[in-house]
Amino acid sequence: MSDSRKKILVAEDDDFLASAYSVKLVKENYEVRVVKDGEATIQALTEFSPDLLLLDLVMPKKDGFAVLQEMQTSGLTTKIPVLVTSNLGQAEDKTKALGLGARDYIVKSDSSLEDIMKKVAEMLK
């Protein structure tokens, strides 16, 4: 029987946040893979081929902006919706991320997990 669950790739270098995402997303019946840096994110985009990417911006090796840049160049941002979840709250960061093809932008400390789950569900419709 094939797994019909939607696949979410979580790019988050903070263990605690990554674990919170995993717990909640699995409970919401998604298939989840967590990666902890930009390079692993790029790799997992093809290997795991997610239906949605939850992307942190400040990450080791390659930051979230660089990931978005690469995805935009290869045309992936049109195929895989990206929800940026960052604690960079500046309008400049938000504009930059959206300009690089991110679908939406959430400041983590201002949002509840419930809000993020709703956004995810909406974006997967």
- Residues near another protein (CB under 8 A) are 14, 16-17, 20, 23-24, 27, 58, 86-93, 107-110, 112-114
Distance in Å, CB of 93 to another protein, minimum: 8
User: Closer to another protein at the Cβ: 16 or 125?
Assistant: 16
Percentages helix, strand, coil for the chain, rounded to the nearest 5? 50, 20, 35
- Considering the complex, what minimum distance in angstroms separates the CB of residue 100 from another protein? 18
Question: CA separation (Å) from 84 to 10, 44, 75, 107?
Answer: 10, 17, 17, 8
Q: Find where tokens 């660089």 sit.
A: 66
Which residue's CB is nearer to another protein, number 19 or number 73?
A: 19
Say if CB 71 and CB 80 are below 8 A apart. Answer: yes
As measured in angstroms, the least distance from the Cβ of 123 to another protein is 19
Give the 3-state secondary structure of residue 72.
Answer: helix
Q: How far is CA 71 from the centre of its chain?
A: 12
Our CB check for another protein shows the closer of 49 and 89 to be 89
Q: Give 17 or 98: the residue with its C-beta nearer to another protein.
A: 17
CB of 35 to another protein, least distance (A): 17
